[in-house]
Structure formats: C-alpha cells, structure tokens
Amino acid sequence: MRFAYTARDATGQIVRASLDAATRRDAMRVLAARGLQVVDLAESGAAGSSPAKTPAGTAVAVSASYSSKERLPFLQALSDLIMSGMPAGEAVRLLSTRLKEPRLRGLCVALWERLGEGLPLSKALGSLPEVFDAQTVNLVAAGEATGNLKEVLLRLIQHFNEQKELRQKLTAALAYPAFICLVAIGVILFFIFFLMPRLQTLLTSLGGKLPFATQVLVGLSHFLLSYGILVVIALALGVVSFWQWRRSEAGRTTIDAWLLKLPFAGPFVTNTTVHNFSQTLAVLLENGVTTADALRMTERTITHRTLRRAFTEATDRVLEGETLSQSLGRTGCFPDLVLDRLAVGESTGNLAPSLRDIAKTYQQELARQLQSFTTIVSSGVLLFAFSFVAFIAYAIVSAVFQVSASFKF
C-alpha cells in the first residue's frame, strides 16, 4: 500500500513524498525512524481527505465519555513534554501510559490510537469535539503547519487558565451572598415555624388583644403552616417552567435582551463578552489564523444571543472591507473605549496586542464589578434579615407589654 505524507524534518523543513508500507501504523514507524514528524499521512490518491480510520461509533462513544474538563490538564501535560523536546506523538503515547488519573489517561489512549493510524495531532483532537473545541483544533493545526506548536500550546494554556480564573472569581463572588441568604432564610423560618406557634400559645393563654405587628406575624405563621407546602410546590413548578422556557431559543433570546437592560447585569454581561471575544480573537490572530476565520470562530464563543447577533453583523461588514472598530461601533452594543482602542490597533497594525490590552483591562474591571456585587448583595441580604428579625422582636416585645398592661394589680 502506498502512502503520501507531509512531514517536518529535524531542521523544521517541510518534506512531501510517498512510501510503501503494509499499514498506516507501519508507515508511521518508518517515518519516525527517519526522524520525521508527520503532519499528514494519506493513502495515495486520497490526499487531503480524512478517511475514517476508526469504527463509526468510536468517536461518539469517546466523546460521550469525556468532557472539556480534561482539555486544560491534557494541554498542560502535553506542553510540558513537548517543551522538553519530545515529539507530539511520542508525548501523547507516554501520557497514555504514565498518567494516573483514569479519565485523562483514557483520553490520551484514545488520541494515541488515532495518531497511530496516521492522523496528525490536530485531526486527532478534532475527532473528540466534546473535549476540544474548533478553536483549539484550528490553532493546533496552524501550529503544526508553521512549526510553532510549542508557542500555540502555551498561548492556549494561558487563554484557558485566564477563563478558568474568571469562572472561579465569579463562583467565589456568589458563594458568600448565597451563604448569607441561606442563613437569613433559616433564621426567618425558625421564627415562623418554631418560635411563633409557641409564643402565640403563651400570649393567648394570658389573654388580651395582640398588637397589629404581632397579628401580622401570627397570620403569616398560620398561612405558611397551612399552605406552605402548596407555596413550595407552586414555586418549584414555576422555576421548572421558567427554566424549560429559558432553554428554548425564544426564551433565551428574550432573557438575554432583558439582561442587557438591568442596571448591574447589563454592564457585567457586556464586559464579560468584551473580555472573552478580545482574548479569543487575540489568541487566534497571534497564531496565524486568518482574520475571517478568527472572527467566525470568535463569534461562536459568544454565548449571549443579542451580542452574538451584533458581532455576526459586524463580522459580515468586516468581510466586506470595513474595519472591525467601525463595524462594531454600528451595533451600538460595545463601549466607546473598546472601539477607540481597536481603531488605534488597526491603524498601527497591532490589532492582536491591542486586543490583549483590552482583555487585561476588562479582566480587572470584571474583578472590580464582582467585588462590588458581592458587597451590595451581602449588605442587602443582611439588612433584610436584620430588619425582619427586628420586626419579629418588636412584635414580640410589644405583645408582651400590651398583655402585661392588661393585668390589674
């Protein structure tokens, strides 16, 4: 069987030729023995095609077994070995035998099977779309073609680490307000369901008319004790219905448009989108991806429907010859400061560095917004909890005084 191959020799030069071998695996071994790093390998007459080398269900089964959680650890481990001078294929083979974490080792085994069948690293990654997105696959392909795989991996790792750090900050910012809410709800429920029924029994036994605040508190306690389960069921059904509607395209579009109009959520969503698209676009452009492909790949990473539609319109105008800053400015969805900095980057030919600077600025802005959000929500919840507890205390004390005053000595 004859195979046509594209490989890189020890000096980094591209070599294109063909050889005879019994199987693709044998062809890979012959090329490795010659000191060549395979970029592409195909049967003669099928150059440029990507025949399926694995059973039809294999990719689907593996994709279902792994997730994007394995992406960053794999890239970090692979980068460490490649930086030490090891070829990518040999690095994957070594990881498939040395890694201890089962899911990560299984992922490396699946990739090594594809590499052993003649696929380059980028196509092997592309066969696992649930783990490696199109952006990662395209960047690795560009790194293989240009011989800059080390740099590409380092930039990808930096990119994913920054995204991970932002998600961790968001989670940490929401954790404290959520804890305060739970504590406040627990205190209120304790008063209503445990303390108030006993207090009401005591006050009733003493006789006398209860103050208005106490009557309100007692009525609320009776209502929740009698109909609380129905209220919980109604709220649960409402939340489930809302969540199902939100998952639909119409619901998601409506909610995304509504979020942009909220005082705090609107700026936060816009800043998050600016940070993500500037960071992603910078990574793509820095690694040799064409502007058109980079814009289309960046477009797919924007999750907010309204802003993604605006970015799509801007991309269409860029492909027609308009500058990115002008096309984004027409949408009316992006801050003027971003547009000005993009315009400067385009005029000086330093668009990627400008995008990097924008990403850093908005990362700091998002951190500040998260801190402010944490402070405001925590203070609001505490104020509500203290106010409610104060109201309960007032209702109890006023009832005690009024009942005591009704006694005749």
- Give 1-50's CATH code, choosing from 3.30.110, 3.30.2030, 3.90.1150, 3.10.20: 3.10.20
Question: pLDDT tens-digit profile of 154-183?
Answer: 888 988 888 888 788 778 777 877 887 788
Question: pLDDT tens-digit profile of 65-124?
Answer: 788 889 999 999 999 999 988 888 889 989 988 888 888 988 999 898 888 877 888 888
Cα distances from 217 to residues 13, 188, 192, 397, in angstroms, run 82, 11, 8, 13
Token duo for residue 396: 């109890």
Task: Check whether 56 has a pLDDT greater than 50.
Answer: no
Q: How confident is the model at residue 47 (pLDDT cuts 50, 70, 90)?
A: very low
Structural contact between residues 327 and 315, judged by C-beta atoms closer than 8 angstroms: yes
Question: Can you tell me the distance from the alpha carbon of 76 to that of 96, in angstroms, rounded to the nearest whole number?
Answer: 14
Question: pLDDT tens-digit profile of 194-227?
Answer: 777 777 777 667 666 777 887 887 788 888 878 8
User: Could you tell me where the DSSP H helices lie in 191-333?
Assistant: 196-206, 212-247, 249-259, 265-286, 291-301, 305-319, 324-331
Task: Check whether 234 has a pLDDT greater than 90.
Answer: yes
Answer yes or no: same fold for 52-132 and 162-409.
yes
Question: pLDDT tens-digit profile of 268-300?
Answer: 888 888 888 888 888 888 877 788 888 888 887
Mean pLDDT of the chain: 81
User: What ranges do the domains of the chain cover?
Assistant: 1-50, 52-132, 162-409
Question: pLDDT tens-digit profile of 135-159?
Answer: 788 788 878 877 778 888 888 898 8
User: Hey, what CATH class is 52-132 in?
Assistant: mainly alpha
Q: Is the pTM of this model over 0.85?
A: no
User: Hey, what CATH class is 162-409 in?
Assistant: mainly alpha
Question: pLDDT tens-digit profile of 10-27?
Answer: 666 778 888 887 777 777
Question: Can you tell me the distance from the alpha carbon of 6 to that of 37, in angstroms, rounded to the nearest whole number?
Answer: 9
Of 135, 154, 126, 143, nearest to 295 by C-alpha is 135
Q: How confident is the model at residue 57 (pLDDT cuts 50, 70, 90)?
A: very low
Cα distances from 113 to residues 21, 25, 58, 62, 117, in angstroms, run 18, 10, 11, 12, 6
